[in-house]
């Protein structure tokens, strides 16, 4: 056993700032303070501001290691930096830089960033293993560098206005500087109601853009902007050797070493570390690795539901007994979810199509109340190792397409979705019709995602006439393909499916609305060992059959964790985390107060996003408990969350249940 101390001064936090025309120095500081006030939940332990002529950097911090040190903004000669997140390999980087002659004043990972930039310029990001959003001012070259981590774990947004470019960890801070941007963007809305989130760099607010994952944006005082993708998911092309391993056994051993090292790095902290335990393979594996290979005490947390369709507490408790952790279970009712929803949307800053982020926000509050600031999660394993049913669906659909008249090939779909109360495969005729849609797109990189996007996109039918016309003129498949890299069709089918999943659902929803935002709502830092870029690169080089073996998902990951977990967890079929959707907004047949108000015909007409008659029909269907399918539930949750977004950010009114 080895102890892995935190050594250093590190922060998870929020950042904000600007570059551009010199303004009233007396007004800049109060404005940055207002921006920081809106990010206070991201960093309640302190703040800092640095202003020069025409540039400003601001920072709020949540102290994870050595609360007395590492204050930001931090300066080194003509360089100044603020950053949100963690550089997990900063100890190793610092030692290397010292060997090269760099002299450090602190032990912080913040100072490591400055020295790396001094030595490597814009390529400094290539050396970082972490989850981060960075704003670095180079006074000598008069340029601002914005950088975001490879997977997109930490958010970073920017917008132009009033002679400057403004940036911040969350959009609400930008709106404090540019209130004219507080208008919902039609394109962002159409994307969200199809892909579950806006596609980087688009957002739900006009004129506000995100820095895409793995991207560096450089700005000069004249307003010139260059954007460079320094990292991306990539896969072997046809004919290239895949992994470089002689056997799956050899690859499994290498993966195990990588997993241990990723967990080791992400346990670095001088505060207690918790972990989410869902009862599935991914989170159980992370906790088991921590327990077996480090001395770091890890306390576990989970969610239980009254509804058996969503509840996994039996499997969670089995893992608690197996691992011997101190454990806390949050029991979440449907009403808890509905009442938390307005606060959720304040933090997501985008509509959501499922309620699943709300219980996670409540769980992060439980973590905070237990005295923890850091949690490890199992997020990312399904994208990296092909764990979702969508990958199996696509495999069966491609197999079926080779003999479209086959009666037995589509029956393989019956092996999917066993965890659903109303599964789309329980009726063979319906399954053939549902999964048969989009077969004409088999030669396109978005083939796997057509059924999901078609289901989500049914919500567009509830739009107001003008917006519905915009939706009718929009081709969501072609739109998405324009954002994809050249040469994707040279990858094998599973690789294409994994790339689209990582860039759509994972980046714009899971790591945002269900990740950073719900954790930081309660000043909790989530860490994602499976999204260590070394693990992603390793898995992407593997033959697809080592990830998806037949219809067994995450084949090599199961092998790597085989001696750490009980058989019933190792062999358990993937059950995605879900929570009750439309039913969470009603108590019996009565809607929660804010739902009744926001979805009243007059309020719907005043907002102008939706057709009030269509919304009323859906409202009554949900009230009576007849909204059984994905399409109705997603449309209802999407409409409620869009109306909340309008209430909170456009009209700037808050339902009584919303708190900072």
How many Cβ atoms from other residues are within 10 Å of residue 145's Cβ?
A: 21
Chain-centroid distance, C-alpha 357 = 11
**Range 224-239 burial, b when 16+ CB lie within 10 A, else e:** eeeeeeebebbbbeee
Residues 6+ apart with CB under 8 A from 567: none
CB-based contact 216:145 (threshold 8 Å): yes
Buried b vs exposed e over 46-64: b needs ≥16 C-beta within 10 Å?
A: ebbbbbeebbbbbbbbbbb
Rounded CA gap, 203 and 589, in Å?
35
- Residue 444 backbone phi and psi in degrees, to 5: -110, 150
| Upstream peptide bond of 489 is cis (omega within 30 degrees of 0) | no
Long-range Cβ contact pairs of 546-549 (< 8 A, separation 24 or more) = 546/243, 546/248, 546/251, 547/385, 547/386, 547/494, 548/386, 548/391, 548/392, 548/395, 548/494
Q: Is residue 159 a contact partner of residue 17, using CB atoms and an 8 Å limit?
A: no
Peptide bond into 73 cis (omega under 30): yes
Q: Which H or E run contains 168?
A: strand 164-168
* 13 flagged as catalytic: yes
Handedness of CA 453, 504, 546, 310 (dihedral sign): negative
Length of the chain: 660
The neighbour count for residue 87, using CB atoms within 10 Å, is 27
Number of separate helices (H) and strands (E) present in the chain: 25, 19
How far is residue 229 CA from its own chain's centroid?
Answer: 19
Please report which helix (H) or strand (E) contains residue 469, including its range. helix 465-472
Pairing mode, strands 47-52 and 55-65 = antiparallel
13, 181, 332, 622: which one is catalytic? 13
Q: Which residues contact 258 (CB under 8 A, 6 or more apart)?
A: 532, 534, 535, 538
DSSP one-letter code for 280: S
Spell out the alpha helix ranges (H) of 473-623: 476-482, 493-501, 517-520, 533-540, 555-560, 567-570, 593-598, 601-607, 612-623
Q: 49 by DSSP, 3-state: which?
A: strand
- DSSP output for 494-528: HHHHHHHHIIIIIIIIITIIIIIHHHHTTT-EEE-
**Closest by alpha carbon to 195, among 393, 434, 457?**
457
Where helices occur in 374-447 by DSSP H, the ranges are: 381-385, 389-401, 428-436
Whether the Cβ atoms of residue 524 and residue 373 lie closer than 8 Å to each other: yes
Q: Which of 264, 374, 260, 286 is nearest to 5 (CA)?
A: 264
Residue 301 phi, psi dihedral angles, 5° rounding: -140, 145
Residue holding tokens 């965890």? 419
**Catalytic positions:** 13
């Amino acid at each position: 056993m080895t102890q892995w101390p935190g050594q250093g001064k590190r922060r998870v936090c929020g950042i904000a700032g600007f570059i551009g025309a010199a303004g009233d120095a007396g007004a800049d500081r109060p404005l940055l303070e207002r921006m920081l006030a809106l990010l206070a939940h991201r960093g309640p332990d302190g703040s800092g501001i640095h202003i020069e002529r025409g540039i400003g950097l601001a920072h709020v911090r949540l102290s994870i290691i050595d609360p007395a040190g590492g204050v930001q903004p931090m300066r080194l000669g003509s360089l100044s930096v603020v950053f949100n997140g963690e550089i997990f390999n900063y100890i190793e980087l610092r030692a290397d830089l010292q060997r090269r002659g760099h002299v450090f004043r602190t032990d912080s990972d913040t100072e490591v960033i400055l020295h790396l930039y001094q030595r490597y310029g814009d390529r400094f990001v290539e050396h970082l293993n972490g989850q981060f959003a960075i704003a670095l001012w180079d006074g000598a070259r008069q340029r601002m560098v914005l950088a975001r981590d490879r997977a997109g774990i930490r958010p970073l947004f920017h917008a132009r206005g009033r002679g400057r470019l403004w940036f911040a960890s969350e959009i609400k801070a930008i709106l404090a500087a540019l209130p004219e941007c507080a208008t919902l963007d039609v394109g962002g809305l159409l994307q969200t109601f199809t892909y579950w989130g806006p596609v980087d760099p688009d957002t739900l607010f006009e004129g506000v853009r995100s820095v895409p994952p793995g991207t560096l944006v450089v700005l000069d005082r004249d307003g010139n902007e260059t954007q460079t993708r320094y990292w991306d998911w990539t896969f072997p092309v046809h004919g290239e050797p895949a992994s470089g391993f002689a056997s799956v056994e050899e690859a499994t051993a290498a993966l195990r070493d990588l997993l241990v090292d990723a967990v080791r790095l992400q346990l670095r902290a001088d505060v207690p570390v918790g972990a989410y335990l869902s009862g599935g393979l991914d989170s159980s594996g992370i906790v088991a690795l921590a327990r077996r290979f480090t001395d770091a005490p890890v306390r576990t947390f989970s969610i239980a539901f009254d509804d058996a369709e969503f509840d996994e507490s039996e499997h969670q408790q089995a893992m608690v007994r197996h691992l011997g952790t101190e454990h806390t279970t949050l029991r979440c009712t449907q009403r808890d979810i509905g009442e938390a929803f307005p606060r959720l949307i304040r933090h997501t800053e985008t509509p959501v199509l499922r309620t699943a982020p709300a219980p996670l926000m409540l769980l992060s509050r439980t973590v905070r109340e237990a005295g923890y600031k850091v949690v490890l999660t199992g997020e990312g394993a399904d994208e990296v190792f092909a764990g979702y049913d969508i990958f199996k669906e696509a495999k069966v659909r491609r197999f079926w397409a080779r003999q479209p008249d086959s009666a037995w090939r589509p029956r393989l779909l019956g092996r999917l979705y066993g965890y659903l109360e109303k599964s789309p495969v329980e009726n063979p005729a319906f399954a053939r019709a549902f999964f048969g849609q989009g077969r004409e797109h088999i030669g396109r990189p978005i083939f796997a995602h057509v059924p999901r996007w078609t289901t989500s996109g049914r919500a567009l039918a509830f739009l107001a006439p003008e917006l519905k016309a915009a939706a009718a003129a929009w081709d969501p498949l072609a739109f998405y393909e324009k954002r994809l890299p050249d040469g994707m069709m040279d990858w094998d089918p599973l690789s294409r499916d994994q790339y689209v999943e990582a860039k759509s659902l994972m980046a714009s929803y899971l790591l945002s609305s269900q990740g950073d935002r719900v954790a930081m709502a309660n000043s909790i830092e989530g860490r994602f060992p499976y999204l260590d870029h070394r693990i992603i690169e390793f898995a992407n080089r593997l033959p697809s059959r080592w990830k998806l073996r037949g219809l067994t998902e995450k084949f090599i990951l199961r092998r790597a964790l085989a001696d750490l977990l009980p058989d019933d967890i190792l062999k358990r079929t993937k059950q995605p985390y879900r929570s009750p959707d439309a039913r969470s907004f009603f108590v019996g047949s009565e809607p929660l107060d804010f739902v009744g108000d926001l979805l009243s015909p007059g309020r719907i007409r005043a907002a102008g996003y939706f057709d009030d008659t269509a919304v009323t029909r859906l409202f009554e269907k949900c009230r009576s408990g007849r909204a059984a399918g994905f399409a109705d539930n997603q449309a209802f949750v999407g409409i409620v969350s869009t109306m909340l977004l309008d209430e909170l950010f456009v009209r700037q009114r808050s339902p009584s249940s919303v708190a900072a």
